[in-house]
Structure 1
Amino acid sequence: MTDGLSFDIADADDVAANRDEVVAAVQSHAGQIARSLAILQGGDYGSETFKTRQGKWTLKYEAGDLQYLRFKGKSGGGDIYVVSTKQPPEPTALAAAMVDYEAFVEAFNEHVESLDGVFDDIPTDFPDVETTESVVAERDRILGTIRDVANRIAGELNRYDGEYGTFAQRVGGTRWELKWDGAQASYLRVGGEGGVYLLSQYEPPAAPDVRELAGDFGEFVDSYNEYVEELEADLRTISFD
């Protein structure tokens, strides 16, 4: 029963309101620092720590907005989150941190000033960039020739072996596989699973891969021709006598 108690209870609303006003002011002011850091660091996410005589301040931002501002004093004690996305700081801890807030701002300003002239000696006259136009044109010419021959093989295989399928042979110990879809080559892959797609429905291979593999394509065609010749020889052995 408490009906008989007459002790006065202090009203904490005013203290909490003052605390919230300070936090809101810091959040607005430090938010400008957060946006400036995002511009300096070239990203929407990051953090930076600034040292003062009394301790160190860590500011973290996300999507360019202030995420938290944390103070840790040299005299000991835990971290004080002056601004955070969670609960507001305890008033006494906030007051202790705010004694050093001006020093934090000065440390940030010194950081920005230290970058003044950092690009003064950086040259902006760069060498000309060589064009890949001729290399790409030659690659496409070679691949075009390979595709024409591969399509002819695909057409023959389509006529003999059905609408869809694959034809694989080893060239110099490396597996070459041609997949056909109708009378067209869907892909020509060298090296099995994870190998190089010399022909595909997607982007062309790199020029060094074409240089390395194109010379062996003739052997793959020879192996196809030998395959056909063996089929013809097998059929000639059939007799109805």
Structure 2
Amino acid sequence: MTEGLEADVDGMDDVAKRRDELAARVRTHAGEIARELAVLQGGDYGQETFDTDRGSWTLKYEAGDVQYLRFDPKSGDEIYAVSSKQPPEPEALETAMMDYGAFVAAYNEYVRSFDGLLEDVPEEFPEIESTAELVAERDRVVERIRDVGNAMACELNRYEGEYGTYATTVSGTRWELKWDGDAVSYLRVGGSDGTYLLSQYGPPSAPEVRRLADDVEAFVEAFNDHVDDLEADLSQVSFGERP
């Protein structure tokens, strides 16, 4: 009854070692293909599938290195020849390796299919018109508007306080000026999602400046009317006669 228990058990260490060595070589070799694909396709990650007579191979890569190499035979289960989880079973790896050469040949054919692809692409292109003059004119107009905004900020600071906002409606659109001390922080047209004609960041586009510049005068006139109303109110203040 104990004869079977006394028999030697064949070890799998040698098989597992050979499997691991082969899997490491496949990972290194497929990693070269992954890097070439990343360079060719111009991205840090992606995947490509290559068909062979026995099935198809899908190589997924990220950051120029292989994430997995999967063999889908025409019959049987898929095999991950390279995986981030665990190496394949020895028999599965052997099955995949029987078609690995065909996979590499399919990859090489894929690369050769791009030969001459860019030969007819022109190397010279039309000259590009400069925007320097337009930008300079835009900046000049914006700077004039900023001078007006700073003058308004100075008056508002004197009367209203160190910082705040002044808003009015021009041609049915809300104009809002925010000041901080004697300087304008922003001049916004069109509410919270509107255009910043003046801001602490860059100027608006030239078309936006063109669209809004004509209404700056009306905005200033509305502000002046606001100031006149304030002066009129103050002129009516009386402290009465002293007893």
Q: Same fold (TM over 0.5)?
A: yes
Q: CA offset at residue 204 of structure 1?
A: 1.1
What's 2:57 paired with?
A: 57
What's 2:123 paired with?
A: 124
Mapped partners of 2:169, 2:35: distance in 1:
60
Report matched runs for 1:170-209 at 5 Å: 170-209=169-208
What's 1:99 paired with?
A: 98
Mapped partners of 1:27, 1:218: distance in 2:
71
Mapped partners of 1:3, 1:234: distance in 2:
117
Aligned to 1:67, what secondary structure does the other structure show? strand
Q: CA offset at residue 121 of structure 1?
A: 1.1
Aligned to 2:75, what secondary structure does the other structure show? coil
Q: CA offset at residue 84 of structure 1?
A: 1.1
Mapped partners of 2:9, 2:215: distance in 1:
93
Structure-1-length-normalised TM-score? 0.96
Quick check: 153-162 or 231-240, which moved more? Answer: 231-240
Mapped partners of 1:174, 1:7: distance in 2:
96
Mapped partners of 1:76, 1:218: distance in 2:
80
What's 1:29 paired with?
A: 29
Mapped partners of 2:70, 2:205: distance in 1:
50
What's 1:155 paired with?
A: 154
Structure 1 segments, 4+ long, off by >2 Å, are 2-5, 236-241
Q: CA offset at residue 5 of structure 1?
A: 2.2
Mapped partners of 1:144, 1:163: distance in 2:
23
Mapped partners of 1:4, 1:114: distance in 2:
61
Mapped partners of 2:127, 2:204: distance in 1:
26
Give the paired residue count.
239
Q: CA offset at residue 8 of structure 1?
A: 2.9
Aligned to 2:84, what secondary structure does the other structure show? coil
Mapped partners of 1:157, 1:224: distance in 2:
10
Mind listing any 5+ residue stretches in structure 1 that lack a counterpart? none
1:87-130: CA deviations, max 9, x gaps? 10011111111111000000000011000000011111100011
Structure-2-length-normalised TM-score? 0.95
1:81 maps to 2:90: no
What's 1:8 paired with?
A: 8
Q: CA offset at residue 85 of structure 1?
A: 1.2
User: For the aligned residues, what is the CA RMSD?
Assistant: 1.5
1:64-85: CA deviations, max 9, x gaps? 11111111111132x2110111
Mapped partners of 1:4, 1:93: distance in 2:
30
Among all aligned residue pairs of Structure 1 and Structure 2, give the percentage whose two residues are the same amino acid: 62
Mapped partners of 1:162, 1:237: distance in 2:
22
Mapped partners of 1:158, 1:236: distance in 2:
20
Mapped partners of 1:213, 1:52: distance in 2:
64
Q: CA offset at residue 62 of structure 1?
A: 1.2
Quick check: 150-159 or 44-53, which moved more? Answer: 44-53
